[in-house]
Amino acid sequence: ETGVTQSPTHLIKTRGQQVTLRCSSQSGHNTVSWYQQALGQGPQFIFQYYREEENGRGNFPPRFSGLQFPNYSSELNVNALELDDSALYLCASSSQNGEGNGYTFGSGTRLTVV
């Protein structure tokens, strides 16, 4: 059973650029959530995808968008990068089959905007 893998692990971008982060969910999981984690803070919910559709969104502007593919992998896209977007971006997968299932997190992508 493979876990959640994210790519790239580190990324440096210039303010105003666009970035795409990728996530492969754990085998058997059909739901993917994305979180932003600033240094020393808890993960903040960006959005969740289930069956290729957005299934909930946190307090993030529209320039944060995503996709989920038929194999349940996912992408997070951020347009018009701002300095405050610098953070660790975590992807988490889970199963919708019944209650009591925790999330499996990837190791994250460290994004630095300069």
Nearest-CA neighbor of 87 among 44, 24, 54?
A: 44
How many angstroms separate the CA atoms of 112 and 11, rounded? 6
State which residue, 29 or 85, has the beta carbon closest to other proteins. Answer: 29
Say what the alpha-carbon torsion angle 67, 49, 85, 106 is, to the nearest 10 degrees. Answer: -100
Report the site for other proteins in 39-78 (rule: CB under 8 A): 40-45, 48, 50, 55-56, 58
State which residue, 13 or 110, has the beta carbon closest to other proteins. Answer: 110
How many angstroms separate the CA atoms of 23 and 3, rounded? 11
State which residue, 46 or 81, has the beta carbon closest to other proteins. Answer: 46
Binding residues (CB under 8 A) for other proteins: these are 4, 31, 33, 35, 40-45, 48, 50, 55-56, 58, 90, 92, 94, 96, 99-108
